[in-house]
Structure 1
Amino acid sequence: MKRSRTFVWEDPRETAAAVGRLSGLAFLEEMLAGRVPHPPIMAMLGFGLEEVAAGHAVFALEPGEEHYNPIGSVHGGVYATLLDSAAGCAVHSIVPEGMGYTSLDLTVKFLRPMTVDTGKIRAVGKVLSHGRRTALAQAELLDGDDRLLAHATSSCMLFPMPPR
């Protein structure tokens, strides 16, 4: 039987224009409050930002069939996207106004399968170390019982944002 899923998103240029005008933490707080649009990837995959603090970010997802790979479990790319988002936004939360970041690498360890029966999962990101030019973060993907589904580390480059 065919299934379908519809989603909508806002103009990503509006979100991008807000980056650098605020500190990273203020930007993420504005997004959490709904005053800055979420990026389209969040609508496409169906995940959301749940918490943010300095050096900390949490995203959540309810896995669905639309996330499945050919063997009937959630695709590793979904894991990686959530882990990259949590680690990256944890880093974003520590940058001052006028600064941005980009991921340099992402190392993921897959530990448990995820299906629709897993229920709501959380990707919890935390900054481990940061300097003027780089930051190191980790993220954990946890199920409702706080069992570790996957783990990732990410190095990020910090840089001045061009004026917009």
Structure 2
Amino acid sequence: MGRSRTYEWEDPSITAAVVGRVSGLEFLREIQAGRLPGPPVSATLDFTLDEVDEGRVMFAVMPGEEHYNPLGSVHGGVYATLLDSAAGCAVHSTLPPGMGYTSLDLTVKFLKRITADTGRVRAVGTVVSRGRQTALAEARLLDAGDRLLAHATSSCLLFPLPAA
């Protein structure tokens, strides 16, 4: 018998309407606190934003077979999504109101296999360097014993957002 999973998400335009009106740190803290809806991708993959500080964020997920590739382990795209979210949001947490960012690249190194037996994993993103137009961030995917499962770096382009 087939397995199924049902999930819900909120209207992403609610959150998108707030981008740039407050600082990145305030924006992410509003999502973390549940006062703004999280992005639909977090519902799709069932990950949460657990910590937010300036220049540092942490997402977490409990891997399940719904994340598996045909080889019976978590798909690399799930690793990459968590690492991209952590690196990008770390940069976002440093932005003042009126500024936005976009990822220019993401380089991922897969170090260890993840399965449902791995238990909860955390993606910790930190800003390495931030200038006026670009930022460099890294993210580390860790298990409960702080073993490094994957590592990523991301360059981000910073830009002023159009006035609302």
RMSD over equivalenced CA pairs, Å:
0.5
Residue segments in structure 2 that go unaligned for 5+ positions in a row: none
Q: Deviations over 1:12-61 (max 9, x none)?
A: 11111111000000000111111111000000000000000000000000
Equivalent residue number for residue 18 of structure 1 = 18
Q: Which runs of 4+ in 1 moved over 2 A?
A: none
Q: How far does residue 161 in structure 1 lie from its aligned partner after superposition?
A: 1.1
TM-score by length of 2: 0.99
Number of matched pairs: 164
**For residues 130 and 88 of structure 1, what CA distance do their matches in structure 2 show?**
12
Aligned-residue offset at 1:86: 0.3
Q: How does 1:10-89 map to 2 (within 5 A)?
A: 10-89=10-89
CA distance in 1, matches of 2:136, 2:45: 25
Q: Deviations over 1:93-145 (max 9, x none)?
A: 00000001110000000000000000000000000000000000000000000
AA of the residue aligned to 1:137: A
What secondary structure sits across from 1:18 in the alignment?
coil
The alpha carbon displacement at 1:163 in A equals: 2.4
**SS of equivalent to 2:79:** helix
Which SS does the other structure have where 1:146 is aligned?
A: coil
Report the counterpart of residue 126 of structure 2 in structure 1.
126
> 2-side partners of 1:100 and 1:36: how far apart?
18
User: Normalising by the residue count of structure 1, what TM-score does the alignment of the two structures yield?
Assistant: 0.99
* Identical aligned residues as a percent: 71
